[in-house]
Amino acid sequence: MFTVQSQLKDTGKITPRYGKILEKLGLLTVRDLLFYFPSRYDDFSRIVPIAEKYLDQVITVEGQIVKAKLTRIFRRKLTLFEIIIQDKSHQPLKALWFNQPYLAESLKEGVVVRLSGKMTLNKKFLFLSNPAWEMAQRESTNTGRIVPIYRETKGLTSKWLRWKIKEFLPCASQLTEIIPAKVAKKFHLYDFPEALNQIHFPKNSESLVRAQKTFAFQEMLLIQIKSLRLKKDWETHNSLSIKFDVDLIKKFVNHLPFKLTDAQRKSSFEILKDLESPRPMNRLLNGDVGSGKTIVAAIAALQTIQAGHQVALMAPTEVLARQHFESFSEIFKNNNFNIALLTNSYRKINNFEFRISNFEKNSNFQNSNFKIDSKFNPPAGGQNYSKLKTVNRKILLSKIKLGSVNLLIGTHALIQKDVCFQNLALAIIDEQHRFGVAQRASLQQSALELKDGSSQTIPHLLTLTATPIPRTLAIAFSGNLDISLLDEMPKNRQPIITQIIPPAKREEAYAFLKKQILSGRQAFVILPLVEESPALSEIKAATEEYKKLAEKIFPDLKIGLLHGRLKSAEKEKVMNQFKNRDLDILVATSVVEVGIDIPNATIILIEDAERFGLSQLHQFRGRVGRGEHQSYCLLFTNSDSAKSLQRLKVLAETNDGFAIAEKDLRLRGPGQFFGTLQSGLPDIAMENLTNIKLIKFAQAEAKNILTADPELKEHLSLKKELEKFQEKIHWE
């Protein structure tokens, strides 16, 4: 006898061949198989007599086979298996299958079968092409009902999965209920065994919705409990209280070369008030491309540094870290702030920089007197770093620990064991990823790992995201965060003109691009990542496009190439060439989605635009429109799909990132919006992230449960599932 915890290979019901296939999918136990949910459903529940009035409709018919014929076409290596059935109406119906000769063994003349599919007319015969089938005397599994369709792989079909899952479903009664009984009753949810039965083999559409709601609510409840616990844990810590110096901030803002938007003012005020609290801030600054997140973060940094404390800013890539270093050095050029850059490849203090050598990577580096070229240009703003003629990592780290570095900018190098601060009061994390991906790792944990001279306090935490997140998703994921929205663009920003370019208009678009370049502007050309082999295809596609443009389309222009597989030094070289206008066109992959700021670039051409999500296209578009000149986004597409063109049209009609994100969510669903596999959440939870009512109910119940039972001592099954859930989506 087996249980839900039994290994599938030990049940005697799975052959070794299928066992290996299931193992590759991560399906090892009976429980794993039961939780392998359908990706979609075919509704074959409508059983009708064979009749012409059901033409072009998806139906199920039942009848006796009156003729069966197997034809082999050797020249084309093709087999055709054809049957004719009749029901009580004596109306004949023909069914045809391609390259399935084995069906002749089962579907013989005289046998009564059920067939499901779309009925059409073929040479005066009512006709089904490649229909689902099963013997009429058997319980409906593949026909005559709402039929589950699973993600398949080579050697594994939905039909086989249906039979096996149905065989193991009685084991569902062994599973412990996770949702408290009174909560399940309150929201009309199924118990666990029935929910599993109905998710795989729903009686009707209402039962399916109820089963999906049950599992979605369970996942949301776990998210909210984890989120609330994180928030409570965060609030048990102390932070330095930093007084809001109104005069300081007013003076700084008045000297900016631009006027803050109302959204920037409101967000800055919310952050500055948070900094005054002795409890640590945990705030997400959610803004569109070009909405001015950097200056809001700079205002928070200014207040913190002027109060005598240190600030750390962590970015996900060296490219972005370097850009932040340059931006903050410029913003604070009139302040006597020491700003340093620390990544795996760079050590930099304001304009003083050196690249590490292979020698530095040697384990003996810490004890060496590694020398670098002492020629450098002192930074603007009056600071003098001429003393730093001999610099190594050890010296820079000592300056951070002594507190002489006011603002440290870097990648995850900032949380390495040997990086210590003297009085860190504010951590800014520019995660820049899809929200679901970034949420895998608790950002608070990164802030806690930043080492400070004081063990009594932890830094305030400000997280930035450049992907506009629809409010529904923000509520779903961010029960432990406060949120500030930059939903207003600076007044002087010109909207980017976006056009869809079909194949017939390609030459015209190239001519327009060249005209822009001859007038002194620069351009990006973006290539999509091909899914089959990301690392290799990215390089190949970008290299081929680079050669085509350089040799055939624009042989008289200077063209550069940038992709994610280049080393840091090579990326930097190409980016500096583009920034210094030594290149007219930069051919690149999605590596330019964030972190590249070239005000002179006014045109971005995106190949195969239909392959990208709307939000990602909007991020690409944000690489232009950063200067005084009118900018353009050209969406090249070879697709004639009405759905693809409808999506691209959304981008052409608006520059509002929040509106685009909402539309992208509706058109593609959260799984595609974020990438379900990356988010770590089950598909069923992702699909219900747009159900704001369900999320709010789950949030309220999570609060009720934790208020009555903070340690979940009376909710042991929920506690156990929460532990598994945390491992599954990598919160820490």
| CA–CA dist 415, 404 (Å, integer) | 18
**Going by C-beta distance under 8 Å and a sequence separation of 6 or more, which residues neighbour residue 504?**
none
Cα torsion through 341, 342, 346, 348, rounded to 10: 30
Q: Which of 36-40, 62-66, 446-450 has the lowest mean pLDDT?
A: 446-450
For range 150-178, the mean pLDDT: 93
Query: Tokens 């001429």 sit at which residue?
Result: 386
Q: Give the pair of three-digit tokens for residue 457.
A: 């306090």
Q: Give the pair of three-digit tokens for residue 9.
A: 């290979």
Rounded to 10 deg, the angle between the 692-708 and 205-235 helix axes is 50
- Please say whether the beta carbons of 316 and 433 come within 8 A: yes
Query: Tokens 């299928």 sit at which residue?
Result: 18
| 531 or 547, greater pLDDT | 547
For range 304-314, the mean pLDDT: 94
Going 602 to 605 to 609 to 611, the CA torsion angle's sign is negative
* Residue-level pLDDT at 60: 96
- Please say whether the beta carbons of 405 and 647 come within 8 A: no
| CA–CA dist 516, 603 (Å, integer) | 8
For range 431-449, the mean pLDDT: 45
What digits encode the pLDDT tens for the residues 693-712? 888 888 899 999 999 999 99
Helical residues (DSSP H) of 25-89, grouped into ranges:
30-34
Cα torsion through 488, 490, 493, 497, rounded to 10: -10
Q: Is the pLDDT of residue 354 over 80?
A: no
| 155 or 377, greater pLDDT | 155
Q: Per-residue confidence at 426, pLDDT binned at 50, 70, 90?
A: very high
> What are the E-state strand segments in 617-698?
632-636
Q: Per-residue confidence at 210, pLDDT binned at 50, 70, 90?
A: very high
Q: Is the pLDDT of residue 598 over 70?
A: yes
Q: Which of 142-151, 349-358, 537-546 has the lowest mean pLDDT?
A: 349-358
Backbone dihedral region for residue 432 (phi beyond 0: left; psi -120 to 50: alpha; all else: beta): left
Q: Using DSSP bridges, classify how beta strands 282-287 and 460-465 pair: parallel, antiparallel or unpaired.
A: parallel
* Residue-level pLDDT at 441: 36
What digits encode the pLDDT tens for the residues 62-119? 999 999 999 999 888 899 999 999 999 889 999 999 999 999 999 999 999 999 999 9
| CA–CA dist 317, 191 (Å, integer) | 46
Cα torsion through 116, 117, 121, 127, rounded to 10: -50
Q: Is the pLDDT of residue 434 over 50?
A: no
Q: Is the pLDDT of residue 433 over 80?
A: no
Nearest C-alpha neighbor of 290 from the set 321, 322, 266, 258: 258
Work out the percent of the chain whose per-residue pLDDT is above 70.
81
Type and span of the H or E element at 44: none
Q: Per-residue confidence at 260, pLDDT binned at 50, 70, 90?
A: very high
For range 212-216, the mean pLDDT: 91
What digits encode the pLDDT tens for the residues 610-625? 888 787 888 889 889 8
Type and span of the H or E element at 347: strand 346-349
* Residue-level pLDDT at 303: 97
| 32 or 676, greater pLDDT | 32
Q: Which of 143-147, 238-242, 316-320 has the lowest mean pLDDT?
A: 316-320
| 161 or 290, greater pLDDT | 161
| CA–CA dist 651, 656 (Å, integer) | 9
* Residue-level pLDDT at 473: 63
For range 637-652, the mean pLDDT: 87
Q: Per-residue confidence at 409, pLDDT binned at 50, 70, 90?
A: very high
Helical residues (DSSP H) of 28-176, grouped into ranges:
30-34, 158-168
CA 89 to the chain's CA centroid = 54
Phi then psi dihedrals of residue 36, to 5 deg: -90, 85
Q: Which of 20-24, 62-66, 422-426, 728-732 has the lowest mean pLDDT?
A: 728-732
Half-sphere exposure of 562 (CA within 13 A, CB side): 26
Neighbour tally for 603: CB within 10 Å: 25
* Residue-level pLDDT at 390: 33
Instruction: Give 371: exposed, middle or buried? Use CB within 10 Å, 0-12, 13-18, 19+.
Output: exposed
Q: Is the pLDDT of residue 594 over 50?
A: yes
* Residue-level pLDDT at 451: 66
Q: Is the pLDDT of residue 675 over 60?
A: no
Which domains, from first to last, does the chain contain?
A: 1-45+148-172 (no CATH), 48-144 (2.40.50.140), 246-486 (3.40.50.300), 497-654 (3.40.50.300)
Q: Give the pair of three-digit tokens for residue 213.
A: 């709601």
Checking 452-455 for CB contacts under 8 A at 24+ apart, the result is: 452/420, 452/421, 452/422, 452/423, 452/424, 453/401, 453/403, 453/420, 453/421, 453/422, 453/423, 454/423
26 SS3 class:
coil
| CA–CA dist 461, 430 (Å, integer) | 11
Work out the percent of the chain whose per-residue pLDDT is above 90.
49
